[in-house]
Amino acid sequence: MGRPVFVFIKCDLGKAYDVAVDLVYEVDPCPQVYSISGEHDLIAQFHLPDEMDIGKFVTSQVQTLPGVRDTNTMIAFNTFANDKGFKGDKPE
The string of pLDDT tens digits covering residues 6-19 is 999 999 999 999 99
The pTM of the full predicted model, rounded to 2 decimals, is: 0.84
pLDDT tens track for 47-62: 999 899 999 999 999 9
Contact (CB, 8 A) for 42 and 33: yes
CB atoms within 10 A of CB 88: 8
Percent over 90 (pLDDT), the chain: 72
Which residues make Cβ contacts (< 8 Å) with residue 21, sequence separation at least 6?
Answer: none
Q: What is the pLDDT of residue 83?
A: 64
CA-CA distances (angstroms) from residue 65 to 23, 26, 43, 57, 72?
8, 9, 14, 12, 15
